[in-house]
Amino acid sequence: MIAYIALASLPFAFPALVPALLLLLPGQLLLAIIACIDAYRTAKRTQCLMLGRPALRYLAAIGLMVVAAAGRPAFPLAYYLRANWMEAFWLPTASMSPTIRPGDRFLAHKRVGFGRWSIVVFDSIEYPGTNFVFRVVGLPGEVVEIRQATLHINGKPMQTPAGIGPYSDKNANGQPLIRSDGRPGNGCEGRPITLGADEYFVLGDNSPIAGDSRYWSRPAPGHQPGVVPRSNIIGRATWIYWPPSHWKSLDP
C-alpha cells in the first residue's frame, strides 16, 4: 500500500507522469474488487461464525469498511496533495474551446511554472469566489495590445502556436469591444495595457465569446483593471482527464 501511494503521488509533482496516475487508479479499483470477492468466498467456506444473526454480520462489515476507509493513509495524503500540489477542475462554458470544451474535466498543478501560452486557473477578480481558466498571453512588464486580430507585445506582432487564436478586439457581433463599465476594452486597439511587476494578461481561445482580461473593469487591490495578479493564480492546467475522448496534455 505504501509503495502504491508513493507511486500514485509522483504525478502531483511531475505533470508529465499524469498518464501513469490514470493507469494506476483503475488498477487500485481492480485490486479492491478482487480483495472483496476473495474475502466473500473465504467467509462462505468458514464454519466459524462470529455473529449469529446475518443482520449483525452485515452491520459489523459496514462498520469495519467505514473504519478502514477513514483510517487509510491515502485520504489525508489526498487532501494534502489537492491543497498543495494538484487539483481537478471542470469548465462549464465554451470560452476555451476547442482546447477545453464545455464539460471537460482537467487537472491543474500548483507547484509548476507557467509562461506565455500556458493555461492557468485563477480566482476571478471580476466575480469573486469564482475560478476562471484562461491562457496567459501577457507577462509582467510587457505592453499588450490587440490590433487587427493580432496580438502585439511591446509593439511587435506575436506568432501564436498552432490552434491558438486569433484574438480579437471585437465582440461576437463584430463591434468594438466594451468593458463591463462601458469603457473601451483593456488591451484592445488604441488602449494598450502595461503590465505591472506581478500582473498577467489572459485571453480565452474562443475569443468572440470569452469574458477575459479585455472585459474586466474591477481591479484587484493595488492593481489595474484587466490583469490577474500572481497571488490569484491557483495553478497551471496540464491535462484533460475526462471524458476519455478528450484526454490530452494542455501544455502549449
Task: Tell me how far apart the terminal alpha carbons of the chain are, to the nearest angstrom.
Answer: 35
* Cβ atoms of 163 and 248 closer than 8 Å: no
What is the extent of the structural domain holding 43?
A: 2-83
Residues 36 and 94 in one domain: no
In the chain, the number of structural domains is 2
Q: What is the pLDDT of residues 214-233, one digit of tens each?
A: 999 999 999 999 999 999 99
Per the DSSP assignment, residues forming a β-bridge with 136 are: 202
Give, in degrees to the nearest 5, the angle at Cα 138 between 122 and 220. Answer: 45
pLDDT of residue 211: 93
pLDDT higher at 21 or 177: 177
8 band by pLDDT with thresholds 50, 70 and 90: very low
170, 210 in Cβ contact below 8 A? Answer: no
With contact defined as beta carbons under 8 Å apart, do 38 and 45 qualify?
Answer: no
Same-domain pairing of 91 and 34: no
Mean pLDDT along residues 184-190? 94
Residues 6+ apart with CB under 8 A from 85: 12, 13, 109, 110, 111
pLDDT tens per residue across span 68-80: 555 555 556 667 7
Angstrom distance (rounded) from CA 214 to CA 188: 7
Q: Same domain, yes or no, for 73 and 13?
A: yes
Average pLDDT over residues 180-197: 94
245 and 220 in a common domain: yes
How many whole angstroms separate alpha carbon 103 and alpha carbon 242? 9
Q: Mean pLDDT score of the chain, rounded to an integer?
A: 82
Q: Are residues 206 and 151 in the same domain?
A: yes
Same domain, 49 and 98: no
- Residue 1: the pLDDT is 45
Residue 249's DSSP bridge partners are 239
215 shares a domain with 143: yes
Does 103 lie in the same domain as 76?
Answer: no
Are 215 and 178 found together in one domain?
Answer: yes
- Record the pTM: 0.75
Element (DSSP H or E) covering residue 134:
strand 131-138
Cα–Cα nearest to 108, from 130, 92, 124, 132: 132
Boundary (domain end) residue, out of 39, 66, 83: 83
Residue range 119-143: average pLDDT? 95
The cell for 68 is 478502514
Find where cell 487591490 sits.
221
- Domain match, 111 and 217 both: yes
In eight-state DSSP terms, residue 182 is S
What are the beta bridge partners of residue 120? 134, 236
203 shares a domain with 137: yes
- Looking at the fold, whether 8 and 103 belong to one and the same domain comes out as no
- Say which CATH number the domain at 169 has: 2.10.109.10
pLDDT tens-digit series, residues 84-130? 788 999 999 999 999 999 999 999 999 889 999 999 999 999 888 99
Which residue, 83, 116, 148, sits at the end of a domain? 83
Q: Which of 60, 83, 106 is the C-terminal boundary of a domain?
A: 83
